[in-house]
């Protein structure tokens, strides 16, 4: 197979997408804290301070890799089967760990990853379970970054995606002007292509938000799909069974949902508090973790200027 560096990369910004999803888990984290418009601005600023463009992950998912983990392992000689085997090895210790958790924590994590909901009666496990998912995702990505060292294709893939987003940002004012507004369109095109957070307040309290951005196809989407195992593809092929809950494939595929910037910002507020209080992330200690999480969010919105 030719490497992407050997042929010219084509970028077509006229073929763009406007994304406007509701990120998972934000409503769960905010359940016990009231955020008004001023306080929301603080959290949005924190979310926007992260250096990575959040559209990069969306480009990978749009290209067909639901897990957003395959690009780390692309290399000449790799196949979908070899990449899946490597990802299973990365996930295995975390799958084993989940099996040893108390039943209520394990069930909460499984339901959060599968349908973004907390089981009835396990509300106190919600934030501790999200912190566990965040830890697992972070450790898996760190392992993949170490495995990526020396591989040219992942760097080429990322550079191509960054170049495409940069071109889109430059072209967006022109592209936006080309669209004739229609009375039937529910939302106007965003003023900027970069990620923006659109909050929804209910009785003055933040209930949930939309992540709005504009993106284009990855210039190397076809190359990525050649490496992506069917069980990790988005959408999953009709003849491919859905990964079983608790399996390595399920964990590889779904843990990335925790990585969205706004969710990450909220969890980092909580993690900073736990670290300051020297409270370990112990699944058996979920009652105290849940209380400290509430206090951390209250303190952030109350004390941050």
pLDDT higher than threshold 60 for residue 250 = yes
In sequence order, the 6+-apart residues with CB closer than 8 A to the CB of 205 are 34, 35, 36
Work out the mean pLDDT of the chain and round it to a whole number. 90
Q: Are 221 and 61 in contact (CB under 8 A)?
A: no
Could you check whether the bond before residue 235 is cis, i.e. omega within 30 degrees of 0?
Answer: yes
The DSSP letter of residue 117 is -
| pLDDT tens-digit map of 63-113 | 999 999 999 999 999 999 999 999 999 999 999 999 999 899 999 999 999
Task: State how far the Cα of 50 lies from the Cα of 86, in Å rounded to an integer.
Answer: 29
Q: Specify burial of residue 167 (Cβ count, 10 A radius: 0-12, 13-18, 19+).
A: middle
- 182 pLDDT band, cuts 50/70/90, is low
Predicted pLDDT at 6: 38
The DSSP letter of residue 244 is P
- 291 pLDDT band, cuts 50/70/90, is confident
Rounded percentage of the chain residues whose pLDDT exceeds 70: 93
Mean pLDDT of 44-50: 87
Alpha helix segments (H runs only) across the chain: 26-29, 37-48, 55-62, 80-99, 103-115, 126-148, 152-178, 221-227, 248-254, 261-276, 286-303
Structure token pair of residue 152: 């040219």
Predicted pLDDT at 241: 94
Q: Are 248 and 48 in contact (CB under 8 A)?
A: no
Mean pLDDT of 12-30: 91
Mean pLDDT of 140-150: 96
Q: Are 33 and 298 in contact (CB under 8 A)?
A: yes
Q: For residue 31, give the 3-state DSSP assignment.
A: helix
Q: For residue 219, give the 3-state DSSP assignment.
A: coil
Predicted pLDDT at 2: 47
| The model's pTM | 0.90
Rounded percentage of the chain residues whose pLDDT exceeds 90: 63
- 278 pLDDT band, cuts 50/70/90, is confident
Q: Are 269 and 1 in contact (CB under 8 A)?
A: no
pLDDT higher than threshold 80 for residue 305 = no
Structure token pair of residue 170: 């430059």
Mean pLDDT of 253-277: 89
Predicted pLDDT at 74: 97
């Amino acid at each position: 197979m030719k490497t992407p560096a050997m042929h010219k990369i084509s970028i077509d910004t006229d073929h763009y997408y406007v994304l406007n999803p509701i990120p998972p888990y934000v409503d769960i984290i905010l359940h016990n804290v009231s955020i008004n418009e001023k306080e929301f601005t603080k959290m949005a600023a924190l979310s926007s301070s992260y250096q990575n463009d959040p559209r990069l992950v969306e480009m990978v998912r749009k290209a067909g890799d639901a897990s957003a983990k395959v690009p780390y392992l692309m290399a000449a000689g790799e196949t979908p089967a070899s990449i899946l085997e490597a990802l299973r090895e990365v996930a295995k210790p975390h799958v084993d760990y989940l099996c040893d958790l108390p039943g209520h924590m394990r069930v909460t994590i499984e339901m959060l990853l599968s349908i973004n909901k907390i089981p009835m009666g396990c509300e106190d496990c919600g934030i501790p379970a999200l912190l566990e998912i965040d830890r697992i995702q972070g450790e898996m990505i760190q392992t993949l970054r170490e495995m990526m060292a020396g591989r040219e294709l992942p760097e080429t893939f990322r550079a191509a995606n960054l170049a495409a987003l940069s071109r889109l940002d430059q072209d967006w004012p022109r592209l936006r002007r080309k669209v004739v507004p229609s009375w039937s369109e529910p939302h106007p095109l965003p003023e900027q292509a970069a990620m923006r957070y659109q909050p929804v307040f209910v009785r003055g309290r933040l209930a949930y938000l939309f992540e709005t951005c504009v993106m284009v196809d990855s210039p190397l989407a076809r190359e990525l799909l050649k490496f992506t195992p069917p069980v990790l593809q988005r959408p999953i092929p009709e003849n491919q069974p859905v990964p079983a809950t608790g399996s390595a494939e399920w964990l590889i595929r779904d843990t990335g949902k925790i990585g969205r910037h706004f969710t990450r910002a909220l969890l980092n507020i909580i993690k900073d508090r736990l670290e300051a209080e020297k409270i370990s992330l112990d699944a058996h200690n979920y009652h105290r973790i849940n209380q400290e999480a509430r206090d951390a969010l209250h303190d952030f919105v109350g004390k941050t200027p």
